């Protein structure tokens, strides 16, 4: 690492410290390259930490990992609990320790733990001087030279000081593809037209302002008989009656539109007694700490993470708008979630016939915040590069691939992923799109911009459509995308070749894929009968995951 007057110079510059950015950094570092990792927040980990979202993962995650590095991350999270937290003897011995016993994953855990584990993973590289972390910095300008990014101007969000970051290769791992317009990269956002993609679920006409809702998550605990009611949030009287045109009633309700059928579906906070290990209420869906796993007195209450459709903010788009419009929409999204919390405290129908759970209390400390809310909104989509190859619904959707029996096979695979095509309500008021998908491969062509030579994407900004982004945005796949991007950057530098040349050369591509396999990256799915399409029935409940994993 070299510091120059007024800035820094390195081999690989990564902007964005989410899961894709962290994975890209670790990959490039392991392959001998120097890295500068830039993040706007103090925490690394993105959707897993600062956004507060427990991992949504495929049912075979415990026995079939996309890569050894992702398996190592999950192992280190469990090991942190065993080393540092007062688990019961039974919980400490559990092979599949699920700290929260949440239903969306076999590893629902507190975000602060993952943030510390990620710091631990990066610490040896910081100590060696090959990694520099620039937290609380934001890119404000890109210096371009022909079809290359020469440098980025960074600004500290604390001091306001600016510096120039020079690198051979730049990686955009931001949550919204923030770097793409600054670098002049051809990109899209919002919805594509069916005439352009031929996707069955695409819109008749392209609409950049048709974007998925964002959600501002929060963590909470429950103390029956106590009163922790917050002040009524600004805008609450309007928010409490806000209703999507396609929903059966207001969002502040236990009854919502079913993700798949769009029929009314009721899912209360508690299905029964609050100590019940229910499968279908909201409390247990993303519970991140279960008292039963810890010694008596260690946790005064279970802790759950709220990330539910009732909190989806869809009134205004956030991608591609003016900065002041984005900030206003983010402010409203935060107030909308806070209003839902206040509604639960004061007006929500109770499981025992009463009204309001006054004993609910925000737990911002597990999210690294002082106000009870996540540090950052949960972004489901952002800008996407116009890539050498774009993944379409026809490549992974079950109905769109009628008669094939599996996802498309890509000769240039650099990893695997699996998730349903899952789109939340849109800023045009359209309902969910939630359809079956096959486990899929990640093609290298989707990581290559059409023109720029030294800019790579590393998360939701790869060459997908708005439809297929709904399957590529979850935790494990984002990690795999970042791992491929970081590995590609290092491989290209180590071989003195442009990144796009790796795909166009059969020899280089074979060498790169061999290197990925040596790193423990799976490039194709095993041909096991248990690897069925990701159907909504059963898959939505991770309690079934161990049995499925065993079958795989």
Q: What is the DSSP string of 436-483?
A: -B--EEEEGGGGSBSS-SSEEE-STTSSB-HHHHHHH-SHHHHHHHHH
| CA–CA gap between residue 387 and residue 408 (Å, rounded) | 18
Q: How confident is the model at residue 542 (pLDDT cuts 50, 70, 90)?
A: very low
Q: Based on the number of CB atoms within 10 Å of its own CB, is 531 exposed (0-12), middle (13-18) or buried (19 or more)?
A: buried
Tell whether the model's pLDDT for residue 540 goes beyond 80.
no
The yes-or-no verdict on residue 335 having pLDDT over 70 is: yes
Starting at the earlier edge strand, list the strands of the sheet with 303-306: 287-289, 303-306, 218-222, 360-362
What SS3 state is found at 215?
A: strand
Residue-wise pLDDT tens digits, 360-404: 999 999 999 998 999 999 999 999 999 999 999 999 999 999 989
Q: Which two tokens stand for residue 457?
A: 């994407």
Tokens of 112: 């602060």
**Confidence (pLDDT) at 344:** 98
CA–CA dist 343, 179 (Å, integer): 38
For residue 549, is pLDDT > 70?
no
Greater confidence (485 vs 146) lies with 485
At 259-307, the pLDDT tens digits run 999 999 999 999 865 555 455 799 999 999 999 999 999 999 999 999 9
d(CA 306, CA 469): 23
Domain-wise residue ranges, the chain: 2-188+381-551, 218-367
| pLDDT tens digits along 223-253 | 999 999 999 999 999 999 999 999 999 999 9
Helix segments in 229-364, DSSP class H: 236-239, 282-285, 323-346
The SS3 assignment for 434 reads strand
| Cα–Cα dist 276/368, whole Å | 28
Per residue in 74-109, is it b (16+ CB within 10 Å) or e — as a string?
bebbbebbeeebebeeebeeeeebbbbbbbbbbbbb
For residue 465, what are its two tokens? 């459509």
How many separate helices (H) and strands (E) can be counted in the chain? Answer: 16, 20
Could you tell me the two tokens for 138?
């934001």
State both tokens at 402.
């009628």
pLDDT(5) > 80: no
Q: Residue 210: count other Cβ atoms within 10 Å of its Cβ.
A: 19
pLDDT at 138: 97
Mean pLDDT taken over the chain: 93
Tokens for 315, please give them: 């009134």
Percent of the chain with pLDDT over 90: 89
pLDDT of the residue at 503: 98
| Residue-wise pLDDT tens digits, 98-121 | 999 999 999 999 999 999 999 999
Q: Residue 426 corresponds to which tokens in the numbers above?
A: 């849109």
Of the candidates 382, 367, 366, 373, the residue with the CA atom closest to the CA atom of residue 335: 373
Q: Which of 307, 284, 261, 358 is nearest to 101 (CA)?
A: 284
Residue 278's pLDDT is 53
Residue 2: pLDDT above 90? no
| CB within 8 Å of 197: residues ≥ 6 apart | 390, 392, 393, 465, 467
Picking from 223, 232, 227, 212, the residue whose alpha carbon sits closest to that of residue 341 is: 232
40 or 272, which is more confident = 40
Of the two residues 352 and 239, the one the predictor is more confident about is: 239
Read off the DSSP letter of residue 178: T
Q: Residue 433's pLDDT is what?
A: 96
Provide the whole-model pTM.
0.94
Which CATH code is given to the segment(s) 2-188+381-551?
3.50.50.60
**Pair 171, 12: CB distance under 8 Å:** yes
457 and 485 Cβ atoms separated by less than 8 Å: yes
- Report the candidate in 54, 35, 56, 43 with the shortest Cα–Cα distance to residue 17: 43
Per-residue pLDDT tens digits for 490-539 = 999 999 999 999 999 999 999 999 999 999 999 999 875 445 666 554 33
User: CA-CA distances (angstroms) from residue 517 to 68, 158, 490?
Assistant: 10, 41, 15
CA–CA distance, 386 with 202 (Å, rounded to integer): 17
Task: Look at residue 170 and tell me whether its pLDDT is greater than 70.
Answer: yes
């Amino acid at each position: 690492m070299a510091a120059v007057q007024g800035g820094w110079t390195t081999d690989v510059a990564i902007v964005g410290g989410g899961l894709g950015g962290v994975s890209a950094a670790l990959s490039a570092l392991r392959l001998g390259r120097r890295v500068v990792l830039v993040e706007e927040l103090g925490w690394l980990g993105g959707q897993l930490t600062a956004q507060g979202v427990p991992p949504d993962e495929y049912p075979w995650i415990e026995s079939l990992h996309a890569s050894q590095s992702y398996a190592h991350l999950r192992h280190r999270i469990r090991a942190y609990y065993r080393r540092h937290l007062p688990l019961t003897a039974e919980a400490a011995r559990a092979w599949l320790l699920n700290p929260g016993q949440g239903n969306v994953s076999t590893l629902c855990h507190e975000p602060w733990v993952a943030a510390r584990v990620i710091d631990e993973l990066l610490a040896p590289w910081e100590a060696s001087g090959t990694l520099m972390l620039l937290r609380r910095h934001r890119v404000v300008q890109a210096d371009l030279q022909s079809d290359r990014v020469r440098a980025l101007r960074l600004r500290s969000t604390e001091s306001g000081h600016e510096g120039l970051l020079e690198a051979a290769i730049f990686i955009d791992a931001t949550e919204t593809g923030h770097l793409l317009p600054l670098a002049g990269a051809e990109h899209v956002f919002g919805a594509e037209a069916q005439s352009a993609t031929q996707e069955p679920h695409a819109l008749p006409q392209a609409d950049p302002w048709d974007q998925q809702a964002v959600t501002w998550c929060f963590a909470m605990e429950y103390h029956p008989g106590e009163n922790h009611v917050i002040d009524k949030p600004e805008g609450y009287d309007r928010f409490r009656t806000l209703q999507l045109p396609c929903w059966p009633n207001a969002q502040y309700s236990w009854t919502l539109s079913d993700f798949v059928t769009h029929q009314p579906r009721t899912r209360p906070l508690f299905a029964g007694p609050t100590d019940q290990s229910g499968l279908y209420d909201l409390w247990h869906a993303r519970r991140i700490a279960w008292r039963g796993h810890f010694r008596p007195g260690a946790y005064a209450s279970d802790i759950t993470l709220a990330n539910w459709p009732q909190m989806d903010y869809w009134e205004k788009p956030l991608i591609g708008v003016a900065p002041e419009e984005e900030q206003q929409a983010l402010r409203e999204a935060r107030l909308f979630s806070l209003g839902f919390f206040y509604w639960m405290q004061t007006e929500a129908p109770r499981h025992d016939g009463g009204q309001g759970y006054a004993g609910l209390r925000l737990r911002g400390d597990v999210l690294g915040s002082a106000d009870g809310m996540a540090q950052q909104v949960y972004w489901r989509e952002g800008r996407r590069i116009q890539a050498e190859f774009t993944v379409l619904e026809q490549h992974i959707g079950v109905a769109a691939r009628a008669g094939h029996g599996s996802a498309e096979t890509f000769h240039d695979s650099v990893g695997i992923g699996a998730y349903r095509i899952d789109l939340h309500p849109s800023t045009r008021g359209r309902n969910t799109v939630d359809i079956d998908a096959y486990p899929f491969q990640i093609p290298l062509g989707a990581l290559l911009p059409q023109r720029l030579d030294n800019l790579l994407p590393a998360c939701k900004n790869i060459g997908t459509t708005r439809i297929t982004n709904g399957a590529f945005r979850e935790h494990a796949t984002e990690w795999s995308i970042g791992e491929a991007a970081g590995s590609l950057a290092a491989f290209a530098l180590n071989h003195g070749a442009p990144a796009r040349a790796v795909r166009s050369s059969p020899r280089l591509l074979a060498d790169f894929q061999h290197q990925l396999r040596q790193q423990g990256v799976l490039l194709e799915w095993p041909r096991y009968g248990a690897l069925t399409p990701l159907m909504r029935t059963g898959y939505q409940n991770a309690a079934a995951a161990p049995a499925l994993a065993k079958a795989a």
